[in-house]
Chain A
Amino acid sequence: MADFDVVVIGSGPGGYVAAIRASQLGMKTAIVERELLGGICLNWGCIPTKALLKSGETYEKLGHLKDYGLSADNRAFDFDGVVQRSRGVSKQLNQGVAFLMKKHKVEVIEGAARLEKGSPAPKVVVALNKGGERAVQAKHVILATGARARTLPQIGMEPDGERVWTYREALVPKSAPKSLVVIGSGAIGIEFASFFRALGSEVTVIEALDRILPAEDEEVSIAARKAFEKRGLKFRIGAKVNKLSKSGQGVTLDVESGGKSEQLKADVCIVAIGIVANTDGIGLEALGVKVERGNVVTGAHNETNVPGLYAIGDCAGAPWLAHKASHEGIHCIEHIAGQPGMGGLKAPIPGCTYSQPQIASVGLTEAQAKTAGHELKVGRFPFRVNGKAIASGETEGFVKTIFDAKTGALLGAHMIGAEVTEMIQGFALAITLEATEAELMATVFPHPTMSEAMHEASLDAYGRVLHI
C-alpha cells in the first residue's frame, strides 16, 4: 500500500512546482528537502543574484546621474547591506514556498533521501534532519535533486570560502574584493563579474572557448564583450587555467592562452565552469538507474529506465535553468495523471543573463540554424535608434531575429540591452505558437517601448525595417 501518490525529492523550482501540480490534480504528495525549500534557485541562485545585481545596477546608475540632469553627493554602498538585502529576498521566497506547500497540502519531509527497491516505484528512505529515518512508498517518485558547481580540485579549483568561491560563497562575501578573477564566462560567471565590477572591483574573466557567453549568438557575444570592456571588465579568451594557488594574500592563476603563459593575481577567484548533477549518494546505482555523465537519462515524459521513477531539472541534464525544471515538472506530473500535458508543443527554452547590459535569447543561434540546414532571413535592430531607449538613456545593444527563409518560421531571437530579459518571452511565445514573420509583422507593438525593436528586427529580416 503506497503512502503517497507522488514523492518529489528536492524542492527547487522543478520539485516544488511539480508537487503543486500533483496536488492540484488530486494526488497525495510529499516533498523531501535536505536544506531549504526552494532549492538553489531562490536560496543560492537565480533570485539572490538578481537582488545583488539590482544593487550593483542602481549603484552604477548613480554614477551617471548627471546624464539625466541630476546630481547626488557621496555615492557609496554598504556592502553588508547589499548582501543582507539579497538574503532577505531569498528568505521571503523560501517562506513563500513553505506557504505554498501548506496551501496545497504537500507534506514536507526535511532530510536527505535515498532510494531503495520498492513497488510500484522505488522506496524513498529519508535520513531526517531532526534525527531518525522515515521510509515512504509512493506510486511515483520524482527526482529533482538539482546540481552543484563543478570544481577541479586537482588544479586547485576548489572553493575554500576565503579566496576561492563558487556561486555559493560569492553570494555572501564579507566585502567586495579589490581584485577578482572569474573563471568561466557563462551566465553565472558574467553575472558575478558584472556585479562586482559595478561595485568597483577589478575583474578579469577567463573563458576557455573563443568568445564569452559561448552559448549565445556570436554577434551577441561580440557586442557583450564590447559593452563589458567599456565598463572596465577584462577578458582572457581561449585561455586555460593550469593551476590555481592560494595564499594568505590572494590567489595566483597560471593561465595559458595563444601559446603564451601568464600569471594572474587577485584577491579572490570565482569558479563558474559549469555544474554537476546531484546524482550520487542517493542509491541510483543499486537500483540500476541509467546515468550518463552524471545526468539521469530520461525519456520524453521524464521517465527513467526504472518503473515509477522520473527525473526533472538539472539532475536530468542541460539546459540548467529553473524554468526548464518547472516545465519538465509540470509535464511529467500531467503525464503521470494521464493528461496530454504540453501536447505536441515543444517549447523552446529561453535563456537570460542579468548583466549590464542584459542578454536574452530563445531558439537557434544563426550558426545553429545554418548548421541545421535552414536558409535564413536575419533581421537586426539597434536600440540606439529606438525612441524609448534614447529617452531612457539606455541605447546599448540590439535585437536580432532569425527566420527560416522557406517557411517564415521564427527560428531564434537574440537580444542584448536594457531589460531585454523582460522582452524575450514575446519571441518565446511566437515560437511556441509557431508564428511566422507575418504574425510578428502584424502584431501591434506599443509606442514608445523598447519592444518596438522586436517588431523592427522582424521587419528588417524581410527588408521592411522602418526606422533605419
Chain B
Amino acid sequence: MNETTLGLFTIFVLSVFVGFEVISKVSPILHTPLMSGANAIHGVILVGAIIVLGTGQGSVQTVLGFLAVVLATINVVGGFVVTDRMLEMFKGRRPGGGSRGGDGA
C-alpha cells in the first residue's frame, strides 16, 4: 500500500509500547486465555494471505497463497473459539481474589 518505510517503522515502535502497556497488569488466572487470545489476533495474517492469493500470478504464488489462507484461517477460527471456550467457564462468577473468612485463622 502507500505508506512510507519510516511511517511503517513509526507504527511498529509505537505498537511495541502499546503491546507492553496493555497487558502489564494481568492476573495469573488469565495468563492462558490471554495467550490464546493474542494467538488468535496474530491470525490477522489471513488478511495478508487473502491479498497474496488474490493478486498472485503463477503456480508458485497460488500454491503458497492458498496454503497460507488455509493455515491462517485455522489460526483465526481455532484461536478465537478456544479462547471463548476457556472464558465461558469464568462466566457468571465474580472475579478477583477477595478473601472470605479464614485468612485470619
Q: Do the two chains bind?
A: no
